[in-house]
C-alpha cells in the first residue's frame, strides 16, 4: 500500500484502492464484532474483567458501535464504490491514488478516533460520539475524498446513462457529507438543549437512512443482476426507491425522541413519515426478488447471491419493524428496550452486513482475478453470521418485550434485570459466533489472494468451478 502513495497514477494497478479497502473492512469487522462479543460478555457476567477503567463497559460500547459503522460498513461501502462505480461506467476509477490515500487516512483516522473514545474522550452524543476535531477529519479526510472520487468517476464514465447503483452512490456520498456536518454542528457551534438532543438523533437517523441503507441497497442492485445474468426487474421501481429514500427517509428523525419534550407537530410528522419508509423498502425488496426470477437455485449454490438475497429478505422484517415501531401506539412499549437493540442489529448486522459481505466477496475475487479459496469456509462464514445474528436478534427481541412489559406494569427494575439474564447470555453466544465466523472469513480471503485459482481474462469469478 505504502509504495503506491507516491507512485504515478498510471503505475498503480487498477483496483488497488478497492482491495485495500476490502481487507481493511474485514479487519475492522473482526475488531468491531470482537468488541461486541466482549461487551456482551460483560452484560451477561458483570464481574468478567472488572475494575479496569479502560476495559469497562462504558468505555468500550461506543468503540464497538463506531468500529462497525465507520470501519466495517463504511469501508466496505468505499470498497464497493471503488470497483462498482467504474465498472458501471465502463471506465477506470477517477484517481486510484486518491483512493489509496483515502484508505490510509481512513484507517489511521478511525484508529485515532476510536482510541480517543476508548479513553473516554467523547462529545457525549450517541452515534456522533467522536469529538469535533475528529468529526472534521472524517468529513474532509475521509468522506469528501471518497465522494469526489465517486462523482468524478461517474462524470468521466463511458456509458450513456447512469445505472441505478450509481445514482445511489453519487447521492449518498453527497447526503452523508451534509448529514455528518450538520449532525455534528452542536459541537462546532455550541448548540444546546433540545436542539442538541434533536440534532443527535437527526444525525443518527439520517446516517442510517441516507448512507447505510441506500448504499447497501445500491450494492445489491449491482450484485444480483451481475451474478445471475438477469437484468434488473424494473428501472422504474428503482426510481421509486431512489426518490422515496430522498423524500421520506430524510424526514422522520424525531421519532427517536418520542418521549422527549419536543414540539408535538414534529413528533407526529416524524411518525407519519416513518411509516412511509415502507415505500422505498417495498420497492427495493420487490425489485430485487423479481430480478431473481428463474435463478433461484443460485440462492443455494452461489455464495454472493446467498449473502445478498438473505440481506434483502432481512429488509422485510427490518422495515416492518422500522415503519411501525416508531408510531406512538407501539413506541411507548418498546422504546429504550432491547427490542431497539435487536432492531439496530437487524439493520446493521442483518440487512446491510450481508449485502456488504457479498460485495466484498465478489469484489476481491474480481479484482484479484482469483477464485474464492474455499466454498466450505464461505458457507461456514455465512451460517456463523446467520445463526449468530439470529440468536442475537431473537434473544434481544424477547428481552426487549420483557423490558417493555416490566415498564408498563411498573415491575421493580431489578426483576427485569434478572429476567433478562438468560437472553444476555444468548446475545453473547450469538455475537461471539459472528466474531468467529469473521476470523474464518479473513483467512479465506487471505488464502484467496495467495492461493485462489487464477481467473482467465474475460471470465467472471462465479463462472468457474471451485477446486476445493
Q: State the helix-helix crossing angle for 338-345 and 303-325, rounded to 10 degrees.
A: 150
Mark the segment that binds another protein (CB under 8 A) among 84-92, 114-122, 373-381, 450-458. 114-122
Q: Contact between 321 and another protein (CB under 8 A)?
A: no
Q: Select from 3, 409, 458, 465 the one that contacts another protein (CB under 8 A).
A: 409
Q: Say if CB 321 and CB 278 are below 8 A apart.
A: no
Q: Cell triple for residue 276?
A: 412511509
Which residues are CB-neighbours of 254 under 8 A, at least 6 positions away? 198, 201, 202, 262, 266, 267, 269, 270
152 vs 316, beta carbon nearer another protein: 152
Please give the Cα distance from 339 to 350 (Å, whole number).
15
Q: Contact between 43 and another protein (CB under 8 A)?
A: yes
Shortest distance, CB of residue 313 to another protein, whole angstroms? 26
Shortest distance, CB of residue 393 to another protein, whole angstroms? 15
Mark the segment that binds another protein (CB under 8 A) among 6-14, 75-83, 383-391, 410-418. 410-418
Please name every residue paired with 193 in a beta bridge, in sequence order, or none if there are none.
none
181 vs 230, beta carbon nearer another protein: 181
Mark the segment that binds another protein (CB under 8 A) among 43-51, 99-107, 318-326, 427-435. 43-51
Q: Contact between 251 and another protein (CB under 8 A)?
A: yes
129 vs 304, beta carbon nearer another protein: 129
Q: Contact between 131 and another protein (CB under 8 A)?
A: yes
Q: Select from 18, 98, 176, 197 the one that contacts another protein (CB under 8 A).
A: 197
Q: Select from 3, 6, 51, 300 the one that contacts another protein (CB under 8 A).
A: 51
Please give the Cα distance from 377 to 366 (Å, whole number).
19
Q: Say if CB 373 and CB 362 are below 8 A apart.
A: no
Q: Contact between 47 and another protein (CB under 8 A)?
A: yes
Please give the Cα distance from 115 to 103 (Å, whole number).
18
Q: Say if CB 36 and CB 179 are below 8 A apart.
A: no
3-state secondary structure of 156: coil
- Quote the Cα angle for 14-15-16, to 5°: 95
Q: Contact between 90 and another protein (CB under 8 A)?
A: no
Please give the Cα distance from 184 to 376 (Å, whole number).
44
Count other C-beta atoms under 10 Å from residue 68's C-beta. Answer: 22
Site for another protein in 266-295 (CB under 8 A): 266, 269
Mark the segment that binds another protein (CB under 8 A) among 219-227, 240-248, 371-379, 436-444. 240-248
Site for another protein in 144-183 (CB under 8 A): 155, 160-162, 171, 175, 178, 182
# chain residues binding another protein, by CB under 8 A = 84
Which residues are CB-neighbours of 433 under 8 A, at least 6 positions away? 384, 385, 387, 388, 391
Q: Select from 111, 196, 234, 440 the one that contacts another protein (CB under 8 A).
A: 196
Q: Select from 105, 111, 139, 243 the one that contacts another protein (CB under 8 A).
A: 243
Please give the Cα distance from 302 to 297 (Å, whole number).
8
Q: Select from 9, 11, 14, 124 the one that contacts another protein (CB under 8 A).
A: 124
272 vs 313, beta carbon nearer another protein: 272
Amino acid at each position: 500500500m505504502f509504495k503506491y502513495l507516491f507512485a504515478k497514477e498510471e503505475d498503480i494497478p487498477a483496483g488497488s484502492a478497492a482491495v485495500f479497502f476490502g481487507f481493511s473492512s474485514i479487519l475492522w469487522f473482526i475488531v468491531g464484532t470482537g468488541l461486541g462479543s466482549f461487551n456482551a460478555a460483560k452484560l451477561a457476567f458483570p464481574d468478567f474483567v472488572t475494575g479496569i477503567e479502560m476495559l469497562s463497559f462504558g468505555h468500550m460500547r461506543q468503540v464497538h458501535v463506531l468500529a462497525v459503522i465507520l470501519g466495517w460498513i463504511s469501508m466496505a461501502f468505499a470498497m464497493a464504490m471503488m470497483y462498482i462505480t467504474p465498472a458501471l461506467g465502463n471506465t477506470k476509477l477517477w484517481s486510484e491514488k486518491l483512493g489509496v490515500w483515502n484508505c490510509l487516512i481512513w484507517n489511521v483516522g478511525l484508529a485515532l478516533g476510536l482510541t480517543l473514545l476508548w479513553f473516554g474522550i467523547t462529545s457525549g452524543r450517541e452515534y456522533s460520539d467522536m469529538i469535533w476535531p475528529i468529526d472534521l477529519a472524517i468529513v474532509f479526510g475521509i468522506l469528501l475524498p471518497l465522494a469526489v472520487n465517486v462523482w468524478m468517476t461517474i462524470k468521466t464514465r463511458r456509458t450513456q446513462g447512469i445505472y441505478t447503483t450509481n445514482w445511489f452512490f453519487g447521492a449518498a456520498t453527497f447526503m452523508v457529507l451534509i448529514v455528518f456536518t450538520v449532525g455534528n454542528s452542536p459541537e462546532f457551534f455550541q448548540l444546546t438543549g433540545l436542539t442538541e438532543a434533536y440534532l443527535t438523533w437527526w444525525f443518527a437517523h439520517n446516517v442510517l437512512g441516507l448512507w447505510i441503507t441506500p448504499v447497501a441497497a445500491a450494492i445489491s442492485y449491482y450484485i444480483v443482476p451481475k451474478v445471475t445474468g438477469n437484468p434488473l426487474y424494473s428501472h422504474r421501481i428503482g426510481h421509486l426507491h431512489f426518490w422515496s429514500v430522498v423524500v421520506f427517509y430524510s424526514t422522520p428523525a424525531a421519532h427517536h425522541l418520542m418521549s422527549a419534550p419536543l414540539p408535538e407537530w414534529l413528533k407526529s410528522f416524524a411518525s407519519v413519515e416513518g411509516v412511509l419508509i415502507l415505500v422505498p423498502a417495498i420497492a427495493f425488496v420487490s425489485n430485487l426478488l423479481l430480478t431473481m426470477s428463474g435463478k433461484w437455485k443460485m440462492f443455494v449454490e452461489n455464495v454472493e447471491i446467498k449473502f445478498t438475497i438473505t440481506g434483502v429478505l432481512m429488509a422485510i422484517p427490518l422495515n416492518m419493524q422500522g415503519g411501525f415501531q416508531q408510531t406512538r401506539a407501539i413506541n411507548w412499549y418498546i422504546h429504550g428496550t432491547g427490542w431497539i437493540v435487536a432492531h439496530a442489529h437487524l439493520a446493521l448486522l442483518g440487512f446491510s452486513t450481508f449485502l456488504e459481505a457479498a460485495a466484498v466477496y465478489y469484489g476481491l475475487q474480481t479484482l484479484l482475478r482469483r477464485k474464492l479459496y474455499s466454498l466450505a469456509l464461505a458457507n461456514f462464514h455465512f451460517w456463523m453470521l446467520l445463526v449468530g445474528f439470529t440468536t442475537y436478534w431473537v434473544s434481544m427481541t424477547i428481552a426487549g418485550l420483557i423490558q417493555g412489559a416490566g415498564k408498563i406494569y411498573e415491575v421493580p427494575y431489578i426483576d427485569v434485570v434478572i429476567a433478562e439474564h438468560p437472553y444476555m447470555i444468548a446475545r453473547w453466544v450469538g455475537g461471539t459466533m459472528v466474531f468467529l465466523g469473521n476470523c474464518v472469513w479473513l483467512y479465506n480471503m487471505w488464502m484467496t489472494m495467495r492461493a485462489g485459482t487464477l481467473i482467465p481474462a474475460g471470465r467472471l469469478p462465479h463462472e468457474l468451478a471451485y477446486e476445493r
